[in-house]
């Protein structure tokens, strides 16, 4: 779509109150009409006319014509939202173009990955949910957040939602899918020997989306936490890692219970060990940080 038309033309189409009202009206009408499992309803011209404050049918017809192809699809049964229409109208309805309300600073559980202190505090910094250590004054994590995410929750539920989003995004990233735009992601493992992180993990997985240019970085140990072998290993020990925030993993790296190392080069291979008590799960990764094999190990402190 944007390959052939200037992007400014696409956005210029929306610089009109009636057209924004039409998109909103389509979403509202679909919401009112839809039965569970029926899929997105297609709306007749007359249904849209009922919901939009427009002088006459020829004006509505003109605006519908302008929106069709970019924001609306038209079939014999009527109008429905296109992909761009869906994205834009959900963005408008959710108010995600506003600034998020303020939050924090609130103390949160977990230890600082740099100094090991239990002195973490969460707050919003622009569009990011950010956690800083009040002991060493370093930022320990930052996650993008939406205004609707903040507006519809109390403090505890907001922190939970950040954990959930992180876990969901990490699962997609690990499978090579950009959580932002859905495009394919490629991953590389980068050694960061001068990293301020503890020596237990000096590798970072960096995944870049060639389409929307979002970049995702994660310590190698954290990149496998949501692998089914890790989820099951922890679940068997009473821990639901999918309900934990990234900052709650820091103590494992800080204390050296979670480690990574490079085991081969050309091509590179890596090994991550996540220890819990006397047991451990060992994950073998290829050069693109894909887990190729896993095994559980029983033994004293997981030292082997």
Q: Which residues bind Zn ion (CB under 5 A)?
A: 112, 114-115, 133, 135-136, 178, 180-181, 183, 209, 211-212, 214
CA gyration radius for the chain?
24
Q: Which residue has the tokens 């954290």?
A: 222
Q: Which is nearer to Zn ion, 181 or 264 (CB)?
A: 181
Nearest approach, Cβ of residue 163 and Zn ion (Å): 20
- Neighbouring CB atoms inside 10 A of 267's CB total 8
* Least distance from Zn ion to the Cβ atom of residue 11, Å: 19
Shortest distance, position 219 Cβ to Zn ion, whole Å: 16
CB of 9 to Zn ion, least distance (A): 23
Q: Which is nearer to Zn ion, 210 or 240 (CB)?
A: 210
The nearer residue to Zn ion, 112 or 145, going by C-beta atoms, is: 112
CA 177 – CA 242 distance, rounded (Å): 18
Cα–Cα distance between 153 and 156 in angstroms, integer?
8
Minimum CB distance to Zn ion, residue 189 (Å) = 20
- Residue closer to Zn ion by CB (options 180, 248) is 180
Residue with smaller CB distance to Zn ion, 183 or 239: 183
Distance of CA 147 to the CA centre of its chain: 14
- Its sign, for the CA torsion 172, 173, 177, 178, is positive
Other beta carbons within 10 Å of 212: 12
- Nearest to residue 189, comparing CAs of 213, 219, 214, 168? 219
């Amino acid at each position: 779509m944007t390959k052939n038309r200037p992007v400014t033309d696409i956005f210029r189409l929306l610089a009109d109150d009636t057209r924004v009202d039409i998109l909103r009206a389509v979403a509202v009408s679909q919401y009112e009409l839809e039965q569970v499992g029926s899929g997105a309803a297609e709306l007749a011209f007359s249904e849209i006319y009922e919901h939009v404050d427009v002088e006459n049918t020829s004006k509505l017809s003109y605006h519908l014509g302008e929106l069709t192809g970019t924001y609306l699809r038209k079939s014999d049964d009527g109008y429905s939202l296109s992909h761009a229409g869906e994205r834009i109208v959900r963005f408008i309805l959710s108010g995600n173009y506003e600034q998020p309300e303020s939050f924090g600073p609130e103390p949160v559980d977990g230890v600082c990955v740099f100094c090991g202190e239990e002195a973490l505090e969460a707050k919003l910094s622009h569009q990011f949910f950010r956690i800083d250590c009040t002991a060493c004054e370093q930022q320990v994590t930052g996650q993008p957040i939406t205004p609707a995410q903040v507006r519809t929750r109390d403090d505890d539920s907001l922190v939970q939602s950040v954990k959930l989003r992180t876990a969901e995004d990490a699962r997609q990233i690990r499978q090579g899918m950009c959580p932002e735009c859905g495009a394919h992601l490629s991953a590389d493992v980068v050694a960061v020997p001068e990293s301020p992180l503890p020596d237990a993990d000096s590798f970072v997985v960096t995944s870049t989306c060639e389409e929307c240019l979002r970049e995702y970085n994660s310590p190698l140990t954290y990149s496998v936490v949501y692998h089914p072998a890790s989820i099951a290993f922890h679940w068997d020990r009473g821990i639901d890692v999918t309900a934990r925030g990234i900052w709650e993993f820091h103590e494992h790296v800080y204390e050296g219970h979670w480690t990574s190392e490079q085991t081969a080069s050309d091509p590179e291979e890596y090994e991550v060990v996540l220890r819990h008590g006397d047991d451990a799960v060992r994950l073998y990764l290829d050069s693109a940080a894909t887990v190729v094999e896993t095994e559980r190990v029983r033994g004293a402190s997981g030292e082997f």
